[in-house]
Structure 1
């Protein structure tokens, strides 16, 4: 493993994030603050409690997941798409760097940036609310796992996309709706039985449910089953990335 190559790619991506700090950090914080004002205050005043906690507190894990998932996909997809767009990807492919090292560098940087944004969102939430986390260590572990898994998914999108329109298509039309329909602002148990069954086909449900468990000690989905589904999704992403590099799909041409 060429850790110098991994570090070089990682550092380059992190430096790019520093140059776009307004977009990378400040914008998600402002957006999340607006969610707290609208959902936590306006709707929370009409819904007293959900599963034994106040509605404003209940939506915190969902808001963190909403921001982190979108940020992870956007950071990873743009990180690998831009070298393709400007042509510098060929220099990277011709260098003595393995595909695994390329993936670790880009995905690691995207996951780090998303993890920082998620941590800042938690700090922002603590300004509005008094948070009590039942499993603080697992809370940060699951945050890191989510960042890595969806950075892998974003990496796939970055390789697949041919232009900037396609780059924004999946996060806008797929990721965001899946998060909203995955229990970010409500409990799955509040849905009719038929819709509960449909919801369980949404992979984001398992991430939000597990992350909510780290806060309140309760989840809509069995914890072992949710972890197994998260692991399966990560394995699928890794397999797709391996296949893309092996065949040169939209990389060499």
Structure 2
């Protein structure tokens, strides 16, 4: 592993993040505050508790997952698409580095940025509600795996995208609806039986459920199944990226 190459790509991507640090910091704080005003106050006044958990605290894992997933995809997709757009991708491909080192640099930076956003949202949420994390190690594991897996997905989207509009196509039309319908702001046990079954086909359900279990010790689906789901998704994304670099699809044309 050429760690110098990995560090170079990583530092270049992080430098772009630090140039917009204030924007990157304020945006999640404001959006989290608005979610608490809308969901925590308006809906929370009608729904006091969910499964014995205060509703304001109940939505925190979902809020973190929503932001982490969207930020991971956005950062990784733009990170690899921009070199394609300006033509620098050919310099990277011609350098004596393999695809693992390229992916480690871009995806590592994207995952770091989304992890930062997740921590900021967690700290912001603690100002509104009392939070207790029953399984901190599991919480960190789910957070890291989510940042990594969806950064890998964003990397694939960035390679696939042919213009800037397509960068937002999958996050807006596919990922965001799946997150909102994946139990981020409610328990799927509150749904009718038929819809509970349908919801189980939503992969985001397993992420939110496992992450919420790390906080409160309660989950809509078994925790081991959640870990298998996120692990399988990560491996699938790595397999797709390996195929892309092997065939040169969308990066050598």
The TM tier, using the shorter chain, reads: over 0.9
Q: Which residue number in structure 1 is paired with residue 229 of structure 2? A: 229
> What is the distance in 2 between the residues matched to 1:2 and 1:87?
23
Q: Which residue number in structure 2 is paired with residue 102 of structure 1? A: 102
Q: Which residue number in structure 1 is paired with residue 85 of structure 2? A: 85
Shift, 1:136, TM fit: 1.5
DSSP-derived class of the 1:127 partner: coil
> What is the distance in 1 between the residues matched to 2:161 and 2:215?
36
> What is the distance in 1 between the residues matched to 2:51 and 2:22?
36
222-231 or 17-26, which moves further after superposition? 17-26
Q: Which residue number in structure 1 is paired with residue 244 of structure 2? A: 244
Q: Which residue number in structure 2 is paired with residue 14 of structure 1? A: 14
DSSP-derived class of the 1:128 partner: coil
Q: Which residue number in structure 1 is paired with residue 200 of structure 2? A: 200
> What is the distance in 1 between the residues matched to 2:139 and 2:147?
12
> What is the distance in 1 between the residues matched to 2:15 and 2:178?
31
Gaps of 5+ in 2: none
Shift, 1:23, TM fit: 3.8
> What is the distance in 1 between the residues matched to 2:39 and 2:119?
20
2:63 is equivalent to residue 63 of structure 1:
yes
Measured against aligned partners, the alpha-carbon deviations of 1:195-222 in whole angstroms (never above 9, x if no partner) come to 1111111111111000000000010001
Q: Which residue number in structure 1 is paired with residue 170 of structure 2? A: 170
2:60 is equivalent to residue 24 of structure 1:
no
Q: Which residue number in structure 2 is paired with residue 181 of structure 1? A: 181
Aligned 8 A contact 2:25 2:117 in 1: yes
Aligned length: 253
174-183 or 19-28, which moves further after superposition? 19-28
Measured against aligned partners, the alpha-carbon deviations of 1:70-126 in whole angstroms (never above 9, x if no partner) come to 000000000000000000000111111111000001000000000000000000001
> What is the distance in 2 between the residues matched to 1:99 and 1:232?
20
> What is the distance in 2 between the residues matched to 1:24 and 1:106?
18
Shift, 1:21, TM fit: 2.0
Gaps of 5+ in 1: none
Q: Over the residues paired in the alignment, what is the CA RMSD in angstroms?
A: 0.8
Q: Which residue number in structure 2 is paired with residue 42 of structure 1? A: 42
Measured against aligned partners, the alpha-carbon deviations of 1:39-63 in whole angstroms (never above 9, x if no partner) come to 0011101101001111111000000
Shift, 1:27, TM fit: 1.0
